[in-house]
Structure 1
Amino acid sequence: MYRIVFTQVLSRFDAEAVHHLTIRALRLLGLLPFVTRRLHRLLAPREESLRVTAFGVHFPGPFGLAAGFDKDARCVAPLAAFGFGHVEVGTITAHAQPGNPRPRLFRLPESRAVINRMGFNNAGAAEAARRLRRPRGVPAVVGVNIGKTKVVPESEAVDDYVTSARLLAPLADYLVVNVSSPNTPGLRDLQAVDRLRPLLAAVKEAAGRTPLLVKIAPDLADEDVDAVAELAADLGLAGIIATNTTISREGVASTEAGGLSGRPLKARSLEVLRRLHRKAGDRLTLVSVGGVEDVDDVWERLLAGATLVQGYTGLIYEGPLWPSRINRALARRLRRHGHTSIREVVGRTA
């Protein structure tokens, strides 16, 4: 039914306008706690076999929502109610900013992909912190993804990230340093190890006991992926999220500027995951994102060494019941293969 609605109705409207309408609908749903709790009982992962513990945090299931959808932490509870095992909000910057000029979000249905050049549009860390303090009504594991404010010069990037970390880390189950979006000028330069080390060290100190992860780009050279893995392990980070959107246009017809997500990213994201697992899989928790569309993709990422898996673009094309379908199919697959927990699967083919 959703695919018909998407094809016949939603796809005819501007992608960002539909996104904002979806966020408003979810916010309204969040104002109805009885309905939200009922949805959570029906759709959230409940099978014991799906539960997983990563960096000291207990997740009801391994499949979560990647950063980029709920940029301002406006609808965490409804998203958890629809079945996501965790919700990563953001990217949030220390200061509010409007992002890049519109249009800045483009669907590529023939490629099951999306291009965005949003530019970290958000209301700022203080406003996000205010929202995260509100009671949610349903259990939700919340990650907070932080980035650099566009107008802040690169020489002050560390202080900018630290400001966000101090405000948001106490309210997060885990914190993510985003240095891999292609839509903020100069941001990806911070992935160079000599610049990344002082940044991560400072944010880790500011985050205190909150687990810290770093999110990397799929466009890094293999040797740079290895270097970031060694750095993350050396600094005692909780893990790495791989990968963000790509600037590559391989496999798609569009030349729009911005980060490409969805199916075309699948192969490279999996390749980076496998490389990270070989390099530091015994020392870091790996979170895989990029081109995840169905239970087969989730299963493949778990086998390749991911403890947690995230999706976003699939939600656009599959609709709100997408995470619940994946959870049910994943539980059935575990039973079929004779496994009693996700942990028995992680890294088996790595």
Structure 2
Amino acid sequence: MYRILFSLVFRHMDPERAHHLAFAVIRMLPALGLRRLASRITMPRTDQSVRALGLTFPTPFGVAAGFDKNATAILGLGALGFGHVEVGTVTAIPQPGNPRPRLFRLIPDRAIINRMGFNNDGAQAAAALVAKARTARRRPVIGINIGKSRVVDVADAVADYRTSARAAAPVADYLVVNVSSPNTPGLRDLQALDSLRPLLAAVKEEAGTTPLLVKIAPDLADDDILAIAELVGGLGLDGIIATNTTISRDGLATDAATVQAAGAGGLSGRPLAQRSIEVLRLLRAAVAPELCIISVGGVETADDVRERLDAGATLVQGYSAFIYLGPLWARSINRGLDRLSAATR
């Protein structure tokens, strides 16, 4: 049904407008009293829970940062079957993001290009909404993803991240340092070890007992990924999220004119799958077994999730396929994981 609706309606709408319409419906689920009923329909029927970061995730599959930028639909997304919701990216200073249009579909590739630019209402506002969501009896695990405010110079990034961490850590189940979005000038430069080391150390100090992870780009060289993995272990962080969007446009099925018209930004969706799983395998071979690795990039099906788990992921996230597969996407993955578990018994 959703695929017909997408073909007839959504694919002809501005992608950001379509996102906001869908988002409004998701936000309404708790208000309509449908959250508990929806959860019964969407969550796994057998035990798929994962113990990680000192937390219990009811399913290994969650929604990546970028979908719920301002923490306004946490309970609705949980009701749709996501075991965890990573909100943000939020910044210390509220900001409107980049000018529109800034979100583009590459339909033949089941991919998205975005240059949103961390549009959000600020870390303080998000923290207040997360605190409210935490009071719900049944809720997903909630992560908060923090990034650099656009108006803050890269040289002053540590203090900026500290401000966000100070607001977010007390209410987050886990905290993520985003240094890998291509849509904030200079942000990816923070992945260089000389910049990353003091930044992560400072945020860890602010995070206190809240588990802390760092999200990295797929465009890093393998040696740089291994160096970051060593740094994460040395600083005592709790995990790595691999990976963010890519600036590569290699191997796309969408015609070159459409890709060129979309312009700059991060590419997500199916074309990212191969590099994402390569980075996952590289990391798992390099880090301690107990380190949490959240794999994201090109995930669409339960088989994809199972492949990531078998390759060493602790948890798996998705985002772009939501646009193409609709609100029952997480349910189909959870039911598929049930099926795959039954087949191996």
> What TM-score do you get using the length of structure 1 for normalisation?
0.94
Residue 46 of structure 1: CA displacement? 4.6
Find the residue that maps to 2:169 and give its secondary structure: helix
The CA distance in 1 between the partners of 2:178 and 2:285, in whole Å, is 23
| Partner in structure 1 of residue 109 of structure 2 | 111
Structure 1 residues 293-344: Cα deviation after superposition (integer angstroms, max 9, x where no partner): 1111111101110010000011111111111111111121112112xxxxxx
Letter paired with 1:232: V
Do 1:242 and 1:288's aligned partners in 2 also have CA atoms closer than 8 Å? yes
1:259 counterpart = 2:266 = yes
Find the residue that maps to 1:170 and give its secondary structure: coil
Do 2:45 and 2:338's aligned partners in 1 also have CA atoms closer than 8 Å? no
| Partner in structure 1 of residue 281 of structure 2 | 274
Residue 17 of structure 1: CA displacement? 0.6
Residue 232 of structure 1: CA displacement? 0.4
Residue 138 of structure 1: CA displacement? 2.8
Identity in percent: 62
1:242 counterpart = 2:249 = no
Do 1:40 and 1:138's aligned partners in 2 also have CA atoms closer than 8 Å? no
1:65 counterpart = 2:63 = yes
Do 2:87 and 2:144's aligned partners in 1 also have CA atoms closer than 8 Å? yes
| Partner in structure 2 of residue 333 of structure 1 | 340
Letter paired with 2:113: I
User: How do 1:129-140 and structure 2 match up within 5 A?
Assistant: 129-134=127-132, 135-136=135-136, 138-140=138-140
Count of residues paired in the alignment = 336
Do 2:44 and 2:338's aligned partners in 1 also have CA atoms closer than 8 Å? no
Structure 1 residues 237-294: Cα deviation after superposition (integer angstroms, max 9, x where no partner): 1100000000000122313210000011010000000000111142521110000011
User: How do 1:169-188 and structure 2 match up within 5 A?
Assistant: 169-188=169-188
Residue 108 of structure 1: CA displacement? 0.6
- Stretches of structure 2 lacking an aligned partner (at least 5 in a row): none
User: How do 1:194-343 and structure 2 match up within 5 A?
Assistant: 194-252=194-252, 253=256, 254-255=259-260, 256-338=263-345
2:118 to 120, 128, 137: 120
Worse-superposed segment, 132-141 or 115-124: 132-141
Residue 164 of structure 1: CA displacement? 0.7
The CA distance in 1 between the partners of 2:179 and 2:185, in whole Å, is 11
Letter paired with 2:281: R
Find the residue that maps to 2:176 and give its secondary structure: strand
Worse-superposed segment, 36-45 or 270-279: 36-45
1:83 to 73, 81, 84: 81
The CA distance in 2 between the partners of 1:304 and 1:215, in whole Å, is 18
Worse-superposed segment, 39-48 or 14-23: 39-48
| Partner in structure 2 of residue 146 of structure 1 | 146
> What TM-score do you get using the length of structure 2 for normalisation?
0.95
Do 2:303 and 2:336's aligned partners in 1 also have CA atoms closer than 8 Å? no
Structure 1 residues 135-159: Cα deviation after superposition (integer angstroms, max 9, x where no partner): 4353221011000000001111011
The CA distance in 2 between the partners of 1:160 and 1:5, in whole Å, is 42
RMSD: 1.0
The CA distance in 2 between the partners of 1:160 and 1:309, in whole Å, is 28
The CA distance in 1 between the partners of 2:288 and 2:78, in whole Å, is 28
| Partner in structure 2 of residue 342 of structure 1 | none
Letter paired with 1:68: G
Find the residue that maps to 1:177 and give its secondary structure: strand
| Partner in structure 2 of residue 158 of structure 1 | 158
Do 1:77 and 1:137's aligned partners in 2 also have CA atoms closer than 8 Å? no
Find the residue that maps to 1:84 and give its secondary structure: coil
1:51 to 49, 53, 70: 49
Do 1:37 and 1:137's aligned partners in 2 also have CA atoms closer than 8 Å? no
1:39 counterpart = 2:38 = yes
The CA distance in 1 between the partners of 2:138 and 2:51, in whole Å, is 19
The CA distance in 1 between the partners of 2:23 and 2:163, in whole Å, is 27
The CA distance in 2 between the partners of 1:45 and 1:235, in whole Å, is 35
Residue 29 of structure 1: CA displacement? 2.3
Do 1:91 and 1:145's aligned partners in 2 also have CA atoms closer than 8 Å? yes
Do 1:40 and 1:83's aligned partners in 2 also have CA atoms closer than 8 Å? yes
Do 1:46 and 1:60's aligned partners in 2 also have CA atoms closer than 8 Å? no
The CA distance in 2 between the partners of 1:251 and 1:137, in whole Å, is 46
- Stretches of structure 1 lacking an aligned partner (at least 5 in a row): 339-350
The CA distance in 2 between the partners of 1:95 and 1:237, in whole Å, is 25
The CA distance in 2 between the partners of 1:281 and 1:88, in whole Å, is 24
The CA distance in 2 between the partners of 1:276 and 1:221, in whole Å, is 12
